[in-house]
Structure 1
Amino acid sequence: MANQFYSPRDLRFHLYEVLDAERLTQFAYFQDHDRESFDLVLDAAGQISETLLKPLLTAMDRNEPELVDGTIRVHPLLRSIIRRFGEDGWINAPFGYEEGGQQLPATIMNAATFVFGAANYSASVFPFLTTGAANLLRSFGSPELIERFTPPMYAGRWQGTMALTEPDAGSSLSDISTSAEPASEPDMDATGAYRIRGQKIYISAGDHDAVENVVHLMLARIKGGPAGAKGISLFAVPRQRPVGDTLIDNDVLTAGVYHKMGYKGAPIAHLMAGSNDGTIGYLVGEPHQGLRYMFQMMNEARVGVGMNAVSIGTAAYYASLEYARERPQGRHVADKNPSLPQTPIIRHADVKRMLLFQKAVLEGSLGLLLFCSYLSDVAHAAEGDQKADAALLLDLLTPVAKSYPSEMGTLTTSAAVQILGGAGYTTDFPVEQFYREARIHPIHEGTTGIHGLDLLGRKVTMQQGRALQLLRTEIQSTLTSASHYPELMPLADQLTAALGVLDDVTKHLLGLSPTDTEAFLSDATLYLELFGIVTISWQWLRQAIVATAASNQNDLPGGRDDAAFYQGKRMAARYFFEYELVKIYGLAKRLCSNDRVTIAMQSEWF
């Protein structure tokens, strides 16, 4: 398929053959949905992506936003695109019927955002930043706040953002200095209105002319509150403040727009609040609970970041696959006869290796992200132990689902550029853009280092290790299923051994925790990498089981195409185990070593 940017066939394989997403309709919250309604959503996502988003991919990259007369100007077609997402119900699709939503499972919603991101990542972020901000309001805000702010956000008329970062407080949110003090305003209950002063940086879609207003979900300190993280509160701070039926200036100034290496079509703003003492923010929920509230949005966003990384990587993969099939160069290594025609480069083993690397990493990561989305749905709609276990397992896997696709996406897009060779380094082909855009994901919504600390320092030990035990149970269930297929036993044996390595490394590191915290956490990023490789190997065994069972059927519905699809799955699983899973042994050796070189190194020795 020319200009293919994702595979609808592969997406449905994950949703229906591996996950069995239709099981979600057994829950009351999702009972009005079925396979047909899910497919309608996916088809609509594909149609919007093909007709509205993908045609702007290059234009939005070449003509990045500009700050003009205090307002950031973006591509002129974005206004109609964002409004279309609102009119079609995408922005509030996961929310309840009483809010105009569709009660759409996160599994299907995230599958749709995968499609949007593969078509045009920059364009896709605007509506779903609003979804996250609106979800914070509807979860913790007062009825008055919800009624005042969410309808125009759902409609795509107002943008929503998450405003955390400050110049002197990046990932260290306990050090933020933006302040809040009660203000008596005639249009709002005095207990809910605060004067906000401070500045925020790197705010995605923090200002632009494609909407009528922007609502920032902003962290700030109420004066006199506790120090550190315990003193942070959450406020809804609009760019223009609604008073009756009108909007008035709210003293939120755009001080600058950052120029980025990629992801250029979506502006990242530097904002100043209260320069003239005129910024009013409205307290969301209880005072001093802002960080806890914000982590709801951040955790949802972290799975979203992983999905965006896979989206961009997938678009790069299909671009390099198309090129490899069409580009003739050289001859088979065993036959150098110059009179023979050149062969397409896809027939060279090293090119196939780079294509398999992309396929194995990306489709394995997509499996994990959709599995996490499924857990989110169960945690939302189930009851009792099923609900609690799904939430706990999702907590454990979130840092992996965010970080592994993000880090590896930089490598898979690099492989796409390499396949195109010199052509890949030019703007004549889209892979150089994908390469630049991929690099943001290991940084935003928590750097990889932070997620390593989170996984090792918090997640593996929570509830006395119950989350890790739940993951072991899931993996063991997959291993049991694989035992029914003799051809999969080599993969099952390798995964069993890898799980043992992960257990041994975890026990070794936890043994350091009580006496040497620095040594325990110094290589947490490498532990995250090892954990991610084992987790994606498990996802590939899940896919291989389904593909093997299907291949053993005598009459596949899709005939030859289905046979090739399933064989491709089995080969990609073999590749991952042969080329990627083996990397854990070097990581394990490092993680169990007593040589603390990074601790011993002194800053003046660099």
Structure 2
Amino acid sequence: MANTYIEMETLKFLLFNVHDLKTVLEQEQFAEYDEESIAMMLDSVKDFSDKELYPYYREMDENPAHFKDGEIIVHPQVKKYMKAGGEMGFLSGPFSYEAGGMQMPSMVVHASAFIQETANNHLPGYIGLTVGSAELIVHFGNQFLKDTYVPKMMAGEWSGTMCLTEPQAGSSLSDIVTTAVPNGDSYKINGQKIFISGGDYKGAENIVHLVLARIKGAPAGTKGISLFVVPKNRLDADGNLEYNDVTTVGDFQKMGQRGYCTTHLFFGDKEDCTGWLVGEPNQGLKYMFLMMNGARIAVGRGAAAIATGAYHASVSYAKERPQGRELQRTGKKDASQEQTLIINHPDVRRMLLLQKVITEGSLSLVFLTSRYQDLSQSLPDAESKAKYKLLLEILTPVVKTYPSEMGITSVNNGVQVLGGYGFCSDYILQQYLRDIRISAIYEGTTGIQSQDLLGRKITMENGKALKLLSEEIMNSINESMAHESLKPLAEKLGSKLELTQKVLQSLMGYAMKGDYQRFLADATPFMEFFSTIIMAWQWLDIGREAQKALVSADTSFSTEFYENKIHAMQFYFKYELPKTTGLSEILMDKQALTLNTEKQLFA
């Protein structure tokens, strides 16, 4: 099954045709790039991933990262991958030329990372977190921090992490207690952080931690949190590395992504841990969350990548596995016939099509969101930038959540396609299912994303982001109405926009009365409702682009390729979009059955 984990034609169709990368490349910021060079680059990433990532995927699961004698032992490929990532521009890609980077569009960065993650989702996280922590330094750090850390991180010589979570606080960052005491130009850091991905590993010359902590006397809650660079090893007066009192006290053995280490760190065990303030005091959470859009797109992208690998493994199996016989027109089976391949059974085809629409639709949403990110940064006028920034804001919780939650559903269907073999370690589907499960928890759980969508993004600027998004969807609907075959689907999507308004009108009644607990009680069902409609929009755009290609006899891809996209669109509109009707009934039902009351429901 080597090298069957991704279909590059679909990736390029979504990137170049559906989401019009060319418009982004026309912006002055990205003038050095063209479609041909990017296509060649992506092909080279695929070749690299085939050779250096995919062959180690199962091996890293079977020989997981682990804590031994005070160190984290990881697969040797981690260090090799970091070095290659520096050489190939995986680390420097998103950064500006001024910062020493390649100034690559976000759409292309995500396409490259997606290819790598479909091959082996255990490795790219090491680079992803290094990029994220370096971005914080580039955007908010002083020149000393930029000069000291960023070049080494971009080269893949030093890794990076983001250290938010503490044992007693979990997702409640207002409750963190790690302290920072002024000490001249730096601070003494003391505290512990848990669930730190890529937090330490044997062979790494240095790990640069971006740590949230409280300066003594800071305000309580999130308003008193500052951000610090706290390296595992600091530079002495001669420019040599010396230990900075950052101790790995253990690791977390996980059900999935076992090759991607997750650590428990203690800062200042011997009261000799030095940190350097990033930006202004008490602004740490603001800085961290300015980088969070990219991190949340990356989580959705990673989930889509895992689900994509699982989909292609499922299809490969279904094309090879004979079992049972097809029903005759009489409704009976002919036992004298040879067994048929399971891909010929309608229920198996239904499960495979569900995997297909979830995975390809999720990648489409990743490209759309990253397109908005590119345009919000590169367009010349402030009004257009502001528009795309709002569109990015409202879609960020969706692009993190839909691929994560529905990706689990997709891979679960893949296990079902394999039947009993899907549950066995001899086959790879069980690993994909274990690996993807963390996606709904990473970078803010589904519940947190859902409350962000309904409680903040839908209502922000008096609903302006939602209005802009509705206009984008209506543009797609109107363009699709020109194609007779797409008209019924476009009309269906239009009716779902009207249903969205009814649902929001019902829910906003609670908010207007000040009953915010009731308003947000069903935020997660709302996320499912809303994201299902967003994905119908994606599939309408995909189907329309395929239909246009067929009408114009475009030979960029095969006729069969375009027809398969249209078939998948029709499948989504028949099997997935109607689920919003039931969800709308849940959301508009007046009963409040989950609020905390005096009833002992769980005794």
- Under a length normalisation based on structure 2, what TM-score does the superposition of the two structures give? 0.97
Q: Name the SS of the counterpart of 2:101 in structure 1.
A: coil
Q: Distance in 2 between matches of 1:535 and 1:158?
A: 39
In the alignment, is the contact (CA less than 8 A) between 1:376 and 1:394 conserved in 2? yes
Deviations 1:536-593 (A, max 9, x none): 00000000100111122346354xxx11111111111111111111111111111111
User: 1:3 touches 1:319 (CA, 8 Å); kept in 2?
Assistant: no
Would you say the 8 A contact 1:78–1:210 is kept in 2? no
8 Å contact 1:22–1:35 — kept in the other structure? Answer: yes
Q: How has the CA–CA distance of structure 1 residues 262 and 603 changed in structure 2, closer, same or farther, with 3 Å as cutoff?
A: farther
Which residue does 2:47 correspond to in 1? 47
**Aligned residue number for residue 605 of structure 1:** 601
| 1:81 paired to 2:81 | yes
- Write the letter of the residue equivalent to 1:318: H
- Residues 506, 341 of structure 1: CA spacing in aligned structure 2 closer, same or farther, 3 A cutoff? same
Q: Report the equivalent of 1:266.
A: 260
Aligned-partner residue type, residue 302 of structure 1: R
Q: Equivalences for 1:332-343 in 2 at 5 Å?
A: 332-334=326-328, 336-343=333-340
Are residue 237 (structure 1) and residue 223 (structure 2) matched?
Answer: no
What residue is the counterpart of 1:228 in the other structure? 221
Q: 1:581 aligns with which of 572, 577, 580?
A: 577
1:112 matches 2:139: no
Amino acid at match of 2:544: I
On the 8 A contact 2:372/2:388 being kept in 1, the answer is: yes
Structure 2 regions of 5+ residues with no counterpart? none
Task: Give me the whole-angstrom Cα distance separating, in 2, the residues matched to 1:409 and 1:210.
Answer: 34
Distance of aligned partners of 1:224 and 1:2 in 2 relative to their CA distance in 1, 3 Å threshold:
closer
Q: In the alignment, does 2:363 pair up with 1:378?
A: no
Distance 1:475 1:555, change over 3 A: closer
Q: Closer, same or farther in 2 for the Cα pair 1:313/1:339, shift >3 Å?
A: same
Equivalent position to 1:509, from 495, 503, 507: 507
Q: Is the 8 A contact 1:156 1:211 kept in 2?
A: no
2:289 equivalent among 295, 301, 305: 295
Answering whether residue 120 of structure 2 is matched by residue 123 of structure 1, we say: no
8 Å CA contact 2:3–2:50 kept in 1: the answer is no
CA distance in 1, matches of 2:143, 2:149: 10
What is the distance in 1 between the residues matched to 2:405 and 2:556?
37
Residues 554 and 390 of structure 1, relative CA distance in 2, 3 Å threshold: closer
The match for 2:551 is 552
Q: What letter corresponds to residue 220 of structure 2 in structure 1?
A: A
State whether residues 2 and 322 of structure 1, in contact with CA within 8 Å, keep that contact through their aligned partners in structure 2: no
Asked if residue 285 in structure 1 is aligned to residue 273 in structure 2, the reply is: no
Report what 1:400 is aligned to: 398
What residue in structure 2 maps to residue 157 of structure 1?
Answer: 157
What do the CA deviations read for 1:19-49 (whole angstroms, capped 9, x no partner)?
A: 1101112211101110122112211210111
> Who is 1:359 aligned against?
356
SS at match of 2:195: strand
User: Which residue does the alignment assign to 1:187?
Assistant: none
Cα RMSD of the aligned pairs, angstroms, is 1.2
Q: Tell me the residue number matched to 1:19.
A: 19
Separation in 2 of the partners of 1:43 and 1:357?
A: 27
Contact 1:357-1:412 within 8 A present in 2 as well = yes
Aligned length: 596
Q: What TM-score results when the alignment is normalised by the length of structure 1? A: 0.97
The residue number in structure 1 matching 2:455 is 457
Instruction: Provide the C-alpha distance between the structure 1 equivalents of 2:92 and 2:267, rounded to a whole number of angstroms.
Output: 28
Tell me the SS of whatever aligns to 1:171.
coil
| 1:198 counterpart SS class | strand
Q: Is the contact made by 1:252 and 1:273 (CA closer than 8 Å) also made in structure 2?
A: yes
Q: Which residue in the other structure is 1:525 paired with?
A: 524
Distance in 2 (CA, whole Å) between partners of 1:263 and 1:269 is 13
Runs of 4+ in 1 over 6 A off after TM superposition: none
Shift of the 181–357 alpha-carbon distance from structure 1 to 2, 3 Å rule, reads same
Match of 2:416 in 1: 418
1:134-153 alignment, distance < 5 Å = 134-153=134-153
Matches within 5 A, 1:172-187: 172-184=172-184
Q: In 2, Cα distance between the equivalents of 1:2 and 1:197?
A: 47
CA contact under 8 A between 1:313 and 1:434: conserved in structure 2?
A: yes
- 1:292 Cα offset (Å): 0.3
Partners of 1:26 and 1:13 in 2: how far apart? Answer: 19
Q: Which amino acid aligns with 2:525?
A: L
Partners in 1 of 2:72 and 2:518 — Cα distance?
46
Q: CA deviation at 1:604?
A: 2.8
- Structure 1 residue 601: Cα displacement: 5.8
Cα deviation, 1:325-376, whole Å, max 9, x if unaligned, reads 1111111122511121111110100000000100011111111110000000
**Which has the larger displacement, 93-102 or 392-401?**
93-102
Q: Distance in 2 between matches of 1:103 and 1:151?
A: 15
Letter matched to residue 83 of structure 2: R
Deviations 1:42-100 (A, max 9, x none): 11210111000001001100001121221101001221111010122210111122333
Which among 206, 209, 212 is matched to residue 205 of structure 2? 212
3-state secondary structure, aligned to 1:272: strand
AA aligned opposite 1:175: D
- Give the counterpart of 1:435 among 433, 436, 439: 433
Paired residue for 1:543?
542
